[in-house]
Amino acid sequence: MTQQHGTLGVAVIGTGRMGADHVRRIDDVISGARVAAVVDIEAERVKRVAHGIEGCTPYTDPAAAMADPGVDAVLIASPGAAHEDALRTAFARGLPVLCEKPLTPDPASALRVVQAEQQLGRRQVQVGFMRRYDADYLKLKALLTQSAYGRPLMLHNKHRNADTPPGFTNAMMIHDSVVHEIDVTRWLLDEEITAVRVLRPAPTGNAPASLSDPQLILFETAAGQVVDTELFVNCRFGYQVSCEAVCEGGIARIGDDHGVFVNAAGKWGGSITPGFVERFGEAYNRQVQRWVDATRRGEVEGPSCWDGYAAAAVCAAGVRAQASGERVEVELDERPALYG
């Protein structure tokens, strides 16, 4: 790495909502890194994003940005279909990567990335499952790891969003929304998901006619635990994420209350966050800071390419279960020793 003045030069690939937010985060919030390059296929947009950031060069070609001598690491926030090529280029140049989910859009391409990284003989990628860096989820993970309430038997998840953008599909409800519950289930329970079923109750009138919303997604794990997720992406009232772990000796729940809870004027209540950026802003900050710190130490931590592949495999099973209404088993390759 050729770090300038001890800081990590990062190329941010993709300057849409998530990518632009990461550019702001690296430039304004976290320490130890700078935005050395930004990449987007829209030349005017990438110039606007780079403008005013000292030493930041705009590119329309990811490979050209990764060849920039000031770039030491890559943050991929482009659409999922472009991830595999960008990851392979980063592998060839030996650049550490923080790749926003999905690792790739489907299990076959994700497995190819796993195999390519395995050939390197070392981990080079952290996948951006930011809930693992949320303060509440970290506390819940610690309780389960310490067996504070005995063995976990079930998880109950709620994932509610105020509305969906135009063109949002049933498959996207799995790939873009439930993928987070897929990852936290595997992480919290330290078990693979082995089967999926999707129930579709009467739809809300607030969703497009083509979208079956809400949905109830059921996971089974290799250890026999059952996990349910209520997914309601057009609830209209805000953004809510919660998780309840049912253990042999107690129950632990996160996500109920945020901010000030008031009793006044004959009413009680608090505020509901409007979206995921507000709810998980600190988790994103912590995730990127941890990635920068580990990269500067020459290490890779956090969710791996295997986690990205496993999530893609469960998503594929979930989409099949969604369409068929049947229980669908997850098809998962053998886990390589690199990710043990």
Contacts of 50 (CB under 8 A, 6+ apart): 35, 38, 56, 57, 58
Tens of pLDDT, residue by residue over 54-70, are 999 999 999 999 999 99
pLDDT at 4 over 50: no
3-state SS, residue 154: strand
User: What's the average model confidence in pLDDT over 282-305?
Assistant: 97
How does strand 97-100 pair with strand 73-76?
A: parallel
User: What's the average model confidence in pLDDT over 185-193?
Assistant: 98
The confidence score (pLDDT) of residue 259 equals: 64
For 1-15, 119-133, 172-186, 309-323, which range has the lowest pLDDT when averaged over its residues?
Answer: 1-15
The confidence score (pLDDT) of residue 181 equals: 98
pLDDT at 2 over 70: no
The confidence score (pLDDT) of residue 1 equals: 45
Please give the DSSP secondary-structure letter assigned to residue 203. P
The confidence score (pLDDT) of residue 5 equals: 47
Superfamily in which the 8-130+282-303 domain is placed by CATH:
NAD(P)-binding Rossmann-like Domain (3.40.50.720)
CA 212 to chain centre: 23
Cβ pair 155, 242 in contact under 8 A: no
pLDDT at 257 over 70: no
* Residue 267 pLDDT class (50, 70, 90 cuts): confident
Cβ pair 155, 178 in contact under 8 A: no
Diameter of the chain measured on Cα atoms: 65
Cβ pair 2, 72 in contact under 8 A: yes
For 62-76, 77-91, 144-158, 258-272, which range has the lowest pLDDT when averaged over its residues?
Answer: 258-272
| Predicted TM-score (pTM) above 0.85 | yes
User: What's the average model confidence in pLDDT over 216-232?
Assistant: 98
Cβ pair 127, 103 in contact under 8 A: yes
User: Tokens 């632990």 sit at which residue?
Assistant: 252
**What is the rounded average pLDDT for all residues in the chain?**
94
The confidence score (pLDDT) of residue 62 equals: 98
* Residue 249 pLDDT class (50, 70, 90 cuts): very high
From CA 35, how far away is CA 146, in angstroms rounded? 39
Cβ pair 63, 76 in contact under 8 A: no
The confidence score (pLDDT) of residue 335 equals: 96
pLDDT at 262 over 60: yes
Tens of pLDDT, residue by residue over 71-105, are 999 999 999 999 999 999 999 999 999 999 999 99
The confidence score (pLDDT) of residue 273 equals: 80
pLDDT at 34 over 90: yes
Cβ pair 91, 124 in contact under 8 A: yes
Burial class (CB in 10 A: 0-12, 13-18, 19+), 182: buried
pLDDT at 284 over 80: yes
For 149-153, 191-195, 208-212, 278-282, which range has the lowest pLDDT when averaged over its residues?
Answer: 278-282
pLDDT at 136 over 80: yes
Superfamily in which the 132-276+311-339 domain is placed by CATH:
Dihydrodipicolinate Reductase; domain 2 (3.30.360.10)
Which residues of the chain form CATH 3.30.360.10? 132-276+311-339
Which residues of the chain form CATH 3.40.50.720? 8-130+282-303
